[in-house]
């Protein structure tokens, strides 16, 4: 039996609160990159990126996550200056035009600081504070929520670290260590979200095991974000396909994550996945009602 999802509240810089748990929130992905695996190069122009963010909100996004550096396996690292040049005009334009929180997808302290100053409300760090030690201080000083993603190694070498005896147990333990690291740096526990990192330093079998055990991460007592969208692990079930042809597989993974207790799902196709989330939320609510 899966217990009802716990509820949490994240304090945003605006003074508002992002409520988690009553329903699953949808985080829409806005990549401002030439080389992201799913949509690289589509939104490099700031005007097109801002228009895309408005469309994500219209399609049902509860959060818009803006990223300027691809973190796909094998991706080259980007300089801080280049990342700032890509994301800052977009963050400024988006934050002033949409009514949902903007998240900055970065592991760099200076990028996060400038993005927060420009209107970003959340930091989404794929390194769980392991790449840039200064990032924790920026987040603590700003008091913004942070997503800590389970990962091992950098993008170019992460598969070298994909060795597990019990994937869910090791991911849970390492995320617990990331929470402690964040708190020691002055970040409030109440402002932390955990992401088990589907595809990050995990081969397909590790990723499916992690997804199947999302409910195990409830022991961390933090809201859970899950990002399966269009990732290559889906090919293990579907056969080899380009990212754009993995939407039905993504839908199945999103529904599974919701039913297992995810608070936020991070996706590219917001319109379609918002429908998936609504139905999965209703199924979960009916299950919880019967169990009571």
Distances from the Cα of 86 to the Cα of 30, 35, 48, 104, 154, angstroms: 12, 13, 13, 12, 21
Of the candidates 97, 266, 287, 292, the residue annotated as catalytic is 266
Taking CA 103 as the corner, what is the angle to CA 181 and CA 169, rounded to the nearest 5 degrees? 40
Alpha-carbon distance 289 to 287, whole Å? 5
Burial of 200-214, coded b for 16+ CB within 10 Å and e otherwise, reads: bbbbbebbbebbebb
Active site residue 241: no
Q: Residue 202: which residues within 8 A CB-CB, separation 6 or more?
A: 162, 164, 167, 210, 233
Alpha-carbon distance 134 to 137, whole Å? 6
Identify any residues that bridge with 264 across adjacent strands, giving them in sequence order: 25, 225
Of the candidates 72, 113, 202, 231, the residue annotated as catalytic is 231
Active site residue 108: no
Q: Which residues are catalytic?
A: 231, 266
């Amino acid at each position: 039996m899966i217990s009802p999802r716990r509820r949490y509240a994240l304090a945003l810089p605006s003074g508002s609160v992002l409520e988690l748990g009553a329903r699953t929130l949808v985080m829409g992905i806005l990549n401002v990159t030439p080389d992201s695996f799913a949509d690289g190069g589509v939104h490099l122009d700031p005007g097109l990126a801002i228009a895309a963010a408005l469309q994500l909100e219209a399609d049902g996004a509860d959060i818009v996550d803006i990223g300027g550096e691809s973190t796909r396996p094998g991706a080259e690292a980007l300089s801080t200056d280049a990342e700032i040049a890509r994301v800052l005009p977009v963050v400024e334009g988006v934050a002033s035009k949409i009514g949902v929180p903007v998240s900055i997808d970065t592991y760099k302290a200076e990028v996060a600081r400038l993005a927060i100053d420009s209107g970003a409300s959340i930091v989404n760090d794929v390194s769980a504070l392991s790449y840039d030690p200064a990032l924790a201080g920026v987040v603590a000083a700003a008091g913004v929520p942070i997503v800590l993603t389970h990962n091992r190694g950098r993008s170019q070498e992460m598969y070298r670290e994909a060795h597990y005896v019990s994937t869910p147990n090791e991911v849970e333990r390492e995320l617990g260590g990331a929470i402690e690291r964040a708190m020691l740096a002055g970040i409030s526990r109440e402002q932390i979200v955990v992401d088990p990192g589907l595809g990050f330093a995990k081969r397909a079998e590790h990723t499916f095991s992690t997804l199947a055990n999302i409910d195990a991460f409830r022991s961390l007592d933090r809201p859970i974000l899950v990002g399966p969208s269009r990732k290559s692990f889906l090919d293990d079930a579907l056969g080899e396909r380009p990212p754009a042809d993995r939407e039905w597989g993504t839908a199945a993974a999103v529904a599974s994550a919701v039913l297992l207790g995810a608070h936020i799902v991070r996706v590219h196709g917001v319109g379609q996945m918002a429908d998936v989330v609504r139905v999965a939320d209703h199924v979960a609510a009916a299950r919880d009602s019967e169990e009571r």
